[in-house]
Structure formats: structure tokens, C-alpha cells
Amino acid sequence: ATPTSIMVGTGRAADMGILFRQGDALQGLSRVDVVAFDKTGTLTLGKPVLTDLEPAAGYSREQVLALAAAVQQHSEHPIAQAIVAAAQQDGLSLPEVSGFEAVTGAGVQAQTQGQCLRIGSAAFMEQHGIALPPTMLARLQDWGQTGRTPVFMALDQTAVAAIAVADPIKESAARAIEALHRQGVRSVMITGDNRHTAQAVARQLGIDDVHPETLPDGKVAVLQALHERGLKTAFVGDGINDAPALATADIGIAIGTGTDVAIESAAVVLMSDDLHGVPDAIALSRATLRNIH
Ligand code: ADP
Ligand code: MG
């Protein structure tokens, strides 16, 4: 494409709410084989709500929710916000906690009343030698199958609750994936969430491949593996954690409503959170290269 056609294409993209931060991205996009998506905040709204809370015998809902919110008020994770909002809605007063720590892609912990309180994935519990009773383990599957994300809570070595949050899928997501498939582009989802939940969301959207339980470094590794197979990749994400993947993909596409770090790591920015911007950008890129030589 000529500099003029690139300028025209970039201008037309801007009218559609698609910002090209790097000039060569407009050409690069036309040859993309695979688009990989982050799940939370990208395919979903990123605003989960608490849907289920099952305390272990001897604990009440109020007790568990107040403790959970006391720790989670120090976390910025969407799961944390859902738990804190539920406690506020119930008008609970929160106990004191100290020594808060967040473990990326796993969970959070803090000290309260001389005990260590942890909330996080089943894998996080396992890492700390906390056994989940069969009733809680079953929730991984039955909550996960409906796209809910289960997390577990423990006091020292004892599991005290299973909690589920649900994060609605964006209205634009299914249509965007469908449009990509019509363009001959494969779709992939990469997420830190568990296998059951990830697969349920992917199934609802018709996504080709899922990589669940993947930390930020793992997202990079998935993209590198696709690259080594000779495939040209785009990655779509919104979070701080997505910055390495956005920088690694051949074309990084950030959701404009996401974090500044994500936007700064991306070649392309969608000004709205409408995912149809992804196939639109590819179509525009192909048209730009086709029409003007
Ligand atoms: P995603 O890629 O979907 O944004 P993350 O990598 O942020 O997921 O988190 C992966 C998993 O780690 C979550 O599904 C959850 O099980 C656990 N986790 C992370 N942070 C928290 C938190 N603050 N509270 C509870 N669980 C958490
Ligand atoms: Mg995200």
C-alpha cells in the first residue's frame, strides 16, 4: 500500500473508533491468521457479581462474607470488587486485617484474628496444602459449566467457603467471533480462569481454542507457540496483566476502556468496548491493501 492509502485507511479507521498507534499495524492486520482474546474485561464485561456463597458447616454467610470482603477491599481484582459489593449490600461491618498480599492469577491472603485468611482458585488452595471437601470440589464443575467462576476461602488450613461470581459476556462478543470466522481467522481464548468456566464461556461464543489457568507469562508463551507454527497473531486485551501479551503478538489490540498500560502496549486501540471493532479493523486493513497499490 502507498503512504496515501495508509493515511486514508487510518483516517477511515478513526471514524469507526479504531485507532492505529503504529502505522504498519494497518498492513499487518490484513495477514492475521489467529486472534487471541483475554477473557475477563475483554470478552466479558469485567464486572462480575457474587451469585453463590456456600459456607462450610459451623460458619454463617455473614461471617464468611464479612471476612472475605475485609481481605478483598485491598485487592483491585474484579472478583474482589464483586465480593466487597455483596458485603456492602448486606450492610456488613468488616473485621480488621493486616499483611495483605495478592498473588497474580491465584488469589489473595491476609492475617485476621491471628489466622491466615486466603481466597482464590482451587490451585491456590492446593499450593498451600488446603484440602477442599468433595462438596466444594463439585462446585468447580457445576458452577463452572454455567460460566460462573468459583473461588475458595480458607482460614489457616481449613476450607470455610465456596464462592461464585458471574461476569456477563459482552453483547458484541459472539457476533465479533462469528465475523472473524467468516474472514477465515481462528479465535483463541487465553485466561487465568479455571478450565470449566473458560470452556463454558468459549462454547457460548463459538471460540475455537481455549487456554485456561494461564498466567501472564503463559499468555506470552501461547502467542510465541502460535508464531513458531508460522501463524500471524493478534491479541486483544484490556488489563495490566495483558501488557506482555499485547507486546508479544504480531498486532496488539487494546480495549480503549481498559487500563493505560494495556493501551500503551498495543498497536491498535478500540475506542469503545465493542468487540466488532476487531473484525472491522481486519476488513478495513484488507480493503486498504486490496484497493490501492
Ligand atoms: P483472568 O485472566 O480471567 O483475568 P486472573 O489471572 O486475574 O484471571 O485470575 C485467575 C484466577 O485467580 C481467578 O479466576 C481466581 O480464581 C484467582 N484470583 C485472582 N485474584 C483473585 C482475588 N482477588 N480473589 C479471588 N480469586 C482471585
Ligand atoms: Mg482482562
Distance, CA of 256 to CA of 160 (rounded, Å): 39
pLDDT confidence of residue 35 = 98
CATH number of domain containing 140: 3.40.1110.10
Q: Whose CA is nearest to atom 25 of ligand 1?
A: 120
175 with 280, same domain: the answer is yes
Cβ of residue 214 lying under 6 Å from some atom of ligand 1: no
pLDDT of residue 293: 45
The confidence score (pLDDT) of residue 292 equals 56
Q: Pick the catalytic residue: 15, 33, 38, 217?
A: 38
Q: Assess whether 264 and 175 both reside in one domain.
A: yes
Q: Is 40 in the pocket of ligand 1 (CB under 6 A)?
A: yes
Are 40 and 174 within one domain?
yes
Atom 17 of ligand 1, nearest CA residue: 106
Could you please report the per-residue DSSP string of 254-276?
EETTS-HHHHHH-SEEESSS-TT
* CATH number, domain containing residue 23: 3.40.50.1000
Is the same domain home to 29 and 53? no
E strands present in 45-104:
49-55, 98-103
| Dist. CA 193 → ligand 1 center (Å) | 6
Q: Say if CB 72 and CB 108 are below 8 A apart.
A: yes
Ligand nearest to the CA of 238: 2
* pLDDT profile of the chain (293 residues), mean per 10: 85 93 90 97 95 97 98 95 98 96 95 96 97 96 96 98 97 97 98 96 97 93 97 95 95 92 94 95 93 58
- Per residue in 261-284, is it b (16+ CB within 10 Å) or e — as a string? ebbebbbbbbeebbbbbbbbbbbb
- Please tell me if the CB atom of residue 26 comes closer than 6 angstroms to any atom of ligand 1: no
Question: What is the residue range of 133's domain?
Answer: 49-166
Q: Is residue 137 domain-shared with residue 193, that is, in the same domain?
A: no
Answer with the one of 166, 191, 221 that is the final residue of a domain.
166
Closest ligand 1 atom to Cα of 239: 4
Of 67, 73, 79, 140, the residue with max ligand 1 atoms within 8 A of its CB, to mutate for a pocket test, comes to: 79
Number of domains in the chain: 2
38 catalytic? Reply is yes
Distance 67 CA to ligand 2 centre (A): 26
State pTM to two decimals. Answer: 0.92
Considering the domain architecture, whether residues 198 and 175 belong to the same structural domain is answered as yes
Residue that terminates a domain, selected from 166, 187, 205: 166
Query: Do β-strands 107-112 and 115-120 pair in parallel, antiparallel, or remain unpaired?
Result: antiparallel
Q: Give the model's pLDDT for residue 290.
A: 84
Task: From 166, 200, 221, give the residue that closes a domain.
Answer: 166
Contact 102/192 with Cβ under 8 angstroms? no
173 with 162, same domain: the answer is no
Same-domain pairing of 21 and 96 = no
- Whether residue 64 sits in one domain with residue 38: no
Nearest CA to ligand 1 atom 9: 105
Sheet with 186-190, side-by-side order of all strands: 18-20, 268-270, 251-255, 233-237, 34-38, 186-190, 209-211
Pair (180, 71) in one structural domain? no
- Is residue 45 within 8 A of residue 240, CB to CB? The reply is no
